[in-house]
Amino acid sequence: MMEAGKISISMLKILLITYILTGLILLGMSFLMYFVGLPDPVISVGITLIYIIANLVGGLMAGKCVESQKFIFGILMGTAYFLLLFLLSVLFNGTMPDFGRHFVTAMILCM
């Protein structure tokens, strides 16, 4: 079994990879928005799919990193992804987000 320090470093690397993946997919979607003119409902579904894909990849990578409790580490990776997303949102917007339906939906999708 891996020691706690190695697991922590691996999880941080995986978190960085998931954010890079998110950024690349968002960049591709922004090009589609610019050149094709995607409508708002398609953009909304695309962002939801990006959350799902990035967290699925991160969860699978986290599960491969540990020998046991793979499901728990996948959930922890999704939770870390969401918390960082939340903190960056607060930092850049300067206000707390509305804790309504979209907030809860994003939290559940990330986990």
Q: How far apart are CA 23 and CA 83, in angstroms?
A: 17
Half-sphere exposure of 86 (CA within 13 A, CB side): 18
Q: What six digits make up the tokens of 30?
A: 């922004």
pLDDT digits (tens, 9 = 90+) for 53-105: 998 999 888 888 887 888 888 888 888 888 888 888 888 887 776 666 676 77
Predicted model pTM: 0.80
pLDDT digits (tens, 9 = 90+) for 51-61: 889 989 998 88
Retrieve residue 32's tokens.
């589609």
List the one residue out of 83, 72, 76, 75 whose CA is nearest residue 106: 83
How far is it, in rounded angstroms, from Cα 93 to Cα 106?
A: 17
